[in-house]
């Protein structure tokens, strides 16, 4: 299959610009980052977006949406000159704002007014959006902190490759951990573990150099290379060697 050359060897950087901003200390426990994406394409481009377990509030195309966690990659067609401004909430932190299980918006996009009401800001800059979010800041909730700690453990500890391991570290049953993640993250702990371990794969791709795929699969806790490739393909939509050409 012929590939769009604009997705190979980092060529996308000639057409897109991404910038990131840190939240204020008050919002940092709830918001992971602000982000902006700008693009200029004379011909439509199929942008592959691979998810993390974040809920996003996004402003673009004259609309404001809440984007739930996606269970797999998705394709967004970019064309012309345009931009999007977004807020990435920390995994587990959107439940008090949604006032419902975060699993109810998994793989869904809903109008932001359904969550935040009609007074969303029209001026898209960090200070304006920060002021709006500060006015809607929920009360602290112990279970939110528990989930945040669980996701941070997954992200930081490469030895966490199994749900049973994570549940033991947190002093929870496997079923209790699964219920907690469904309610607050919107997706199961197995998916979150797999996503952060596969992040290590793309980090090695970006660093360049040869990769021993069988050894890497073993390092990530896979029984064999075949299981690793199937997991990668289900998350990224293509085999790892094919995806590596993007770098």
User: Model's pTM, two decimal places?
Assistant: 0.93
Among residues of the chain, what percentage have pLDDT more than 90? 85
171-193 confidence digits (pLDDT tens): 999 999 999 999 999 999 999 99
Helix, coil or strand: residue 16 = strand
Q: In the numeric block, which tokens belong to residue 179?
A: 């219920």
User: Is residue 12 predicted with pLDDT exceeding 90?
Assistant: no
147-169 burial: b if 16+ Cβ within 10 Å, else e: bbebbebbbeeeebbebebbbeb
102-143 confidence digits (pLDDT tens): 999 999 999 999 999 999 988 788 999 999 999 999 988 899
Give all strands of the β-sheet with 16-21 in edge-to-edge order.
16-21, 31-49, 74-89, 56-60, 63-67, 109-111
Domains of the chain: 5-135 (no CATH), 142-246 (1.10.10.60)
Element (H, E) at 31: strand 31-49
Contact assessment for residue 177 and residue 59, using Cβ atoms and an 8 Å cutoff: no
């Amino acid at each position: 299959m012929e590939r769009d050359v604009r997705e190979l060897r980092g060529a996308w950087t000639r057409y897109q610009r991404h910038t990131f901003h840190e939240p204020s200390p008050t919002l940092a426990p709830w918001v992971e980052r602000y982000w902006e994406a700008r693009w200029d394409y004379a011909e439509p481009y199929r942008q592959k977006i691979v998810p993390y377990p974040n809920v996003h509030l996004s402003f673009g195309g004259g609309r404001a949406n809440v984007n739930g966690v996606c269970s797999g990659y998705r394709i967004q067609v970019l064309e012309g000159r345009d931009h999007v401004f977004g807020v990435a909430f920390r995994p587990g932190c959107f439940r008090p704002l949604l006032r419902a299980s975060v699993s109810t918006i998994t793989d869904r996009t809903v109008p932001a007014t359904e969550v935040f009401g009609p007074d969303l800001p029209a001026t898209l800059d960090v200070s304006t959006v920060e002021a709006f979010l500060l006015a809607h800041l929920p009360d602290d909730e112990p279970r939110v902190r528990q989930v945040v700690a669980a996701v941070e453990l997954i992200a930081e500890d490469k030895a966490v490759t199994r749900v049973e391991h994570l549940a033991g570290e947190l002093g929870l049953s496997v079923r209790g951990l699964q219920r907690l993640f469904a309610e607050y993250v919107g997706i199961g702990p197995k998916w979150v573990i797999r996503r952060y371990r596969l992040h290590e794969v793309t980090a090695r791709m970006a660093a360049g150099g040869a990769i021993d795929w069988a050894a890497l699969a073993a390092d990530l806790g896979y029984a064999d290379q075949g299981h690793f490739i199937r997991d990668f393909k289900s998350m990224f939509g293509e085999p790892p060697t094919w995806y590596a050409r993007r770098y």
